[in-house]
Amino acid sequence: GAVVSQHPSWVICKSGTSVKIECRSLDFQATTMFWYRQFPKQSLMLMATSNEGSKATYEQGVEKDKFLINHASLTLSTLTVTSAHPEDSSFYICSARAGQSVGYEQYFGPGTRLTVT
Amino acid sequence: KQEVTQIPAALSVPEGENLVLNCSFTDSAIYNLQWFRQDPGKGLTSLLLIQSSQREQTSGRLNASLDKSSGRSTLYIAASQPGDSATYLCAVTGNQFYFGTGTSLTVIP
């Protein structure tokens, strides 16, 4: 199956700093990418959807100025957590889809554990 | 809005038992349903994907069924093993991707 990677797999940063997480589709072109966050013992919550070359669409309650998403190429999307605070500590998972249609299968990355101290 | 619920939230069984995990969804207008496994602190591993036109899919000891009209899917695990211990998530694809609440499975040796 298709492979999606994330980097880094875990990161610790100090409160007030920014951190960037990369999501790459390794063997296919991802027209659409998604970012999810997961709190302990909870399911995944969709944060935003991004189509290559377009601005991301954020879910209700997600601050677009805090969680900056860039999908500049068909194989790379980045999530930047700006001015991170301890409450932003979470598990962030990206997924990628080869087409914009919902009928295309989504492939998930291994996740990035963010800890803000 | 689509709501996806999984019952039970947690399940503990002795090794060797057959078990069934349940997933229900409120809107039957779906493209497909997918079952995932998630180990603690790890990402998702796709187990089975059932297209809306299909009734079931099988992979090894796993069998997933889909009854779209009633909004239900089951994941059957035969002869459970300690290595099956994980959280199992179902997800449906409608106008977007919706995850279920998850079932935490523990298989006791």
pLDDT at B74: 98
**Which residues in chain A are closer than 8 Å to B89, comparing Cβ atoms?**
43-44
3-class secondary structure per residue, A94-114: EEEECCCCCCCCEEECCCEEE
Inspect the interface and report whether the beta carbons of A113 and B41 lie closer than 8 Å: yes
Query: Residue B23: in which H helix or E strand, if any?
Result: strand B19-25
pLDDT at B21: 97
Inspect the interface and report whether the beta carbons of A108 and B44 lie closer than 8 Å: yes
pLDDT at B41: 87
Cα–Cα dist B41/A74, whole Å: 28
Per-position pLDDT tens, chain B of length 109? 899 999 999 999 999 999 999 999 999 999 999 999 999 889 999 999 999 999 999 999 999 999 999 999 999 999 999 999 999 999 999 878 899 999 999 999 9
Q: Which one-letter amino acid corresponds to residue B99?
A: F
Inspect the interface and report whether the beta carbons of A111 and B43 lie closer than 8 Å: yes
**pLDDT tens digit sequence for A14-47:** 999 999 999 999 999 999 999 999 998 888 999 9
Mean pLDDT value of segment A84-90: 96
One DSSP character per residue, A21-55 reads EEEEESSS--SEEEEEEE-TTS-EEEEEEEETTSP
pLDDT at A102: 73
Listed in sequence order, the residues at least 6 apart from B85 whose beta carbon sits closer than 8 Å to its beta carbon are B105, B106, B107
